[in-house]
Amino acid sequence: MYIPSKAVGSSDINMIVEPNNTGTPTDDMDLHRESARDLANYHWAHQRLQKPVLVPVFPKPKTQPEVVEQGGWAYMHALCRQTLKITEEKYKRIDLQLINMIEHAQNVLKDRDIKVEEEVL
């Protein structure tokens, strides 16, 4: 997450949430984290709009997880249908993981005296 300095003390602003996309499948989570960190730190929205940006790190695994209904590619950071049907525990229901990430980020912002709207962009 990136928090612009002008956001401190602000209220009623929307946090921007944009998943990372490394552009290439890899099982190396460090590459996904680095991509997300770069996106958060250099995102156009926080530079122009001075809004907090959350970039959740979703894997784009080279080794595809097992899915309830076979066929197709689990495009994780897009939360596609195949992704929501994954049965493998570490990737199961990443939509709920995203909701938890957003709530956590909102609490971090609140602790820093930044009041954000419940709805995110």
Q: What is the value of pTM for the model shown? A: 0.82
pLDDT value, residue 67: 63
DSSP state of 89: G
Listed in sequence order, the residues at least 6 apart from 96 whose beta carbon sits closer than 8 Å to its beta carbon are none
pLDDT score recorded for residue 47: 73
| pLDDT for the residue numbered 70 | 61
Give the burial string for 28-39 (b: 16+ CB within 10 Å, else e). Answer: eeeebeebbeeb
In tens, the pLDDT along 38-82 reads: 888 887 776 788 889 999 988 877 777 666 556 666 778 788 888
Sign for the CA dihedral angle at 6, 8, 14, 16 comes to: positive
CA dist 13 and 7 (Å) reads 8
